[in-house]
Amino acid sequence: MKLLLKSVKILIYSLLIVSTCAITVFAHDRINYGQDKNYKYENLPGQYTHLAVRKNVTDLTPAEKTALVKAIKTLKTTIPAGSKLSIYDQFVAIHIGATRLIHNHKGHSNASVEELAHENAAFFPWHREYIRRFEQALQAVDPTVTLPYWDWTDAKALDVIFNDDFLGSNGQGVTIKIPNQGSFTGGPVKSGAFAAANGWVMNPVLNIDQDTGISLGTSLVRFLQAPPASDYPVPKKDVERALRLNDYSLFRPALEGFISVDEQGKVTPGGFLHNYIHGFVGGVQIDASTRPVKFKGLGTMSNIPSSPYDPVFWLNHANADRLWAEWQENGHQGSDFYPADGQPYGHNLKDLMWPWDGGMSTPKATAFGNLLSLLPNFDSDDLVRPIDVLNHRKLGYTYETRDNQTQRRFYQWHKF
């Protein structure tokens, strides 16, 4: 059975919009809420001041949790003029589009469909830009809101996140039997703010099975902590080992979760860290009778293209971004630690990244219709490359950790 579980873990990996306040949230010039007296910021020496502070989810106050949930649900129910989708659904559509790009420029065939947001170098810069724009959309609703992060090594995080006073509990109503493990329950989330009965209804055209093209319905689905993705918390040594890697070509797949690199440098393929959390929340089912062994995601977080429909997605990616920022600040700052060339288009240091590429790429249609018709209009002058997002502070935010939290309290206490 241990061999089977190891095999399964190896298989787990696999808006340019007008906001409610009539602010163009997806324009590349950043929204500045620094003048709002309620806006959370950190005063830092030097050029980076008034930065939005992303907190550990376990440090959120009840009021902060309530404000985040309210802002998310406001985006879900707000449909901009001329759009078929809510603001939140547009973000989901963009994530889907980034997993199935067709390049339209010289040297790329229209028949070639490529992944931009995952499985290669731009995983970190693309998601950094993506979740920052989502954060700005939230702040257009409530300037006090910032994205919290889920520290995967924090045992307390589960009770905070998966609670009806925040992002809702595990799914209910479906029991699966896992050989030699027992029966486990999951299914649609039926209580809390993100239950269908309370208005969290997903667009079936966007919520489709990435393999079969069949709609997965309108309800948020979770199979939290079902084997084989059942161990929690993630060992700190696993994260620390990834952070010690000096080569981006190893660090990125290690933190994204396609490989693990041990102390001797041995590389093991699998489903780790960021990827593991997707399976941990959504659940993974296997068919060990086939060769190769087949696996299938059970819930929303496990269906990667439409996984932003589970609001836990944003916390998972905020943590991945936090750890990339930590790695950068630990001797890997600047463009010398990102590939300048040799990558698929969109992943090199100065390549434009869709959807901020002036129309150089377009996403492939979904099985249910033309994805292009569901996307917001993109500003042709809104251009973003990996080199533009290497410094997260330049994007207007930072992360609160236990260390800098203690340091800030020290200075506040000793301020004269």
Q: Which residues pair with 296 in a beta bridge?
A: 285
What does the angle CA 288 – CA 293 – CA 295 come to, to the nearest 5 degrees?
90
- Cβ-based burial of 183 (10 A; exposed 0-12, middle 13-18, buried ≥19): exposed
Host H or E run for residue 295:
strand 294-297
What does the angle CA 157 – CA 160 – CA 161 come to, to the nearest 5 degrees?
85
According to DSSP H, which parts of 151-228 are helical? 157-161
Q: Mean pLDDT, consecutive 10-residue segments, the chain of 416 residues?
A: 36 34 39 36 52 97 98 97 93 94 65 84 98 98 97 98 97 91 95 97 92 92 95 97 96 95 90 94 79 77 96 98 98 96 94 94 85 90 97 96 54 39
Tokens of residue 415, six digits: 């301020």
Asked if 51 and 57 count as a contact pair (C-beta separation under 8 A), the reply is: no
Q: Which residues pair with 178 in a beta bridge?
A: 182
pLDDT at 73: 98
CA-closest candidate to residue 269, choices 245, 241, 247, 250: 250
Q: Provide φ and ψ at 327, rounded to 5°.
A: -60, -40
Q: Which residue has the tokens 């969109």?
A: 346
Write down the CATH superfamily of domain 15-413. Di-copper center containing domain from catechol oxidase (1.10.1280.10)
Q: Show Cβ contacts of residue 258 under 8 Å, excluding neighbours closer than 6 positions.
A: 13, 119, 269, 270, 271, 272, 275
The CA distance from 348 to 45, in Å, is: 32
Asked if 382 and 155 count as a contact pair (C-beta separation under 8 A), the reply is: no
pLDDT at 180: 85
Q: Where are the beta strands (DSSP E) in 144-269?
A: 174-178, 182-188, 221-222, 259-261, 267-269
Tokens of residue 51, six digits: 């930065």
The CA distance from 150 to 342, in Å, is: 33
- Cβ-based burial of 181 (10 A; exposed 0-12, middle 13-18, buried ≥19): middle
Asked if 134 and 316 count as a contact pair (C-beta separation under 8 A), the reply is: no
pTM above threshold 0.85: yes
Q: What's the half-sphere exposure (Cβ side, CA atoms, 13 Å) at 413?
A: 6
According to DSSP H, which parts of 115-257 are helical? 123-141, 157-161, 236-243, 248-256
pLDDT at 216: 95
Q: Where are the beta strands (DSSP E) in 15-126?
A: 52-54, 101-103, 113-114
pLDDT at 128: 98
Q: What's the half-sphere exposure (Cβ side, CA atoms, 13 Å) at 86?
A: 18
Tokens of residue 341, six digits: 């060339």
Asked if 382 and 356 count as a contact pair (C-beta separation under 8 A), the reply is: yes
Tokens of residue 275, six digits: 């990827």
pLDDT at 7: 37
